[in-house]
Structure 1
Amino acid sequence: MVISQESIRFAAVGDLHCRKESAGSLRNLFTQAAEAADALLLCGDLTDYGLPEETHVLVEEMAAARIPIVAVLGNHDFESGRQEEVQRILIDAGVRVLDGEACEIHGVGIVGVKGFAGGYGRGTLGPWGEGAIKQFVNEALHEALKLESALAKLRTSQRIAMLHYSPIEATVKGEPVEIYAFLGTSRLEEPLIRYPVNAVFHGHAHRGTPEGKTVNNIPVYNVAKPLLQRSFPDRPPFRIIEIPKTEAGTV
């Protein structure tokens, strides 16, 4: 790996959905990402059922990627209630797993949260009525607050935000309209308006749209692997962006 003097190249992909029988199927992706980029961002749903056995397969597959790897978990990684084990296996393998934290890679500040659902714009679910509805909305608010807190800690001039759920409606378009509210929420966009970043990456919406923008024109990239494979069949299934290189800040 040779880092450009002018920019840092990030590869991003989500929704790998690694299973126990996936051995050998993801190795080429990680090898190609390491050859194309200076760091790799994994945007959730790394496993299919959130099992430690799946995670062990995943870390074996990513062993060839000798570049920094940063990840957030997705809803599938929570499916079996063993997300802490999944996270620990990833961390032990050298992956930086973010859940409302910030880190710095080659002078670029990176924040990450899973995010949550709740809908967009006028269709955003409000905390009214039954306790279960309030609890659902509070989860979305909690994830948005974690994102805002992490963004506020960054002291780098160049920054990236990673999520699993989408902060904008534009990148979920292509999915059935009826499930938009379960693919993300505008509440995740609000911190990005207060603390702008160079780019936002998310996954989750397998049949969504590859690109969109926040209301303050921050580019948002849907990097769900099934979407990238369908949209760009002639490319490896990850998205590359270049961030101008500056002097490192502090986190």
Structure 2
Amino acid sequence: MIVLGSNSEIAQAFVERVLDGGERFKTLYLFTSTPEVTERFAKHLEVRFMQHSEVVFMDLTQNIDFSKWDYIQSSLLFCATGYLGVGTDEGLYNRKNTEKIVDVNYAKLIPVLNYFAEKMERTRQGNMIVLSSVAGERGRQSNFIYGSAKAGLTAYLSGLRNYLHSKKVHVMTVKPGFMDTKMTEGLPLNPALTASPKQAADGIFRAYKLKKNTVYVLPIWRLIMCVIRNIPEFIFKKMKL
């Protein structure tokens, strides 16, 4: 199993849910930009599940030497890579903030997903589970830099799913709403609309087994985003969302 963004609480909860379900892997590849932190999770998996893991360095703000990953092969990939950055109220014209949001959520991530998708296409088997965001469904003034990157990712996953279907590789898009994680720490989130990493992992695992195409972590977000997508533009542009 390949895990991109392995320090994400959702990624770690999903890995544990998969292992709790009885699946085991020759090697579980934990991709991370902070190997020293990820090593602790790898040791936890070894002790609790007797699952061998390998920590692999990946920093999407730097150039990547894909040849170093030629030996890595798996039929299951889970991607929780993401960077929220500073919202547009504070960071709209902050170039470094904008570049990192776009790089981590889209520009530098797509070549990585393509790299592993090609490996799965060659073997004609595999599942790719990738976290996008409800923020990508309509640009809103509070976070449209982040939302635009996630919109691009969602469109990419839709096309990749279409392309790989005949190659026996399934691509699932996950759209979390509010999540109780380090990335959203300090934000005023509505508890009724916020999921825990364990809730997310359980829902994603069920969807993975059913080979769903797109899944919202909390079903209420499907309705919320349907409403937001359908607000007429002449009204929407005057709203503070």
Which interval holds the TM-score relative to the shorter structure? 0.3 to 0.5
Higher normalized contact order (CA 8 Å, seq sep 6+, divided by chain length): 1
Structure with greater strand percent: 1
Structure with greater helix percent: 2
User: Highest Rg: 1 or 2?
Assistant: 2
TM-score (norm 2): 0.41
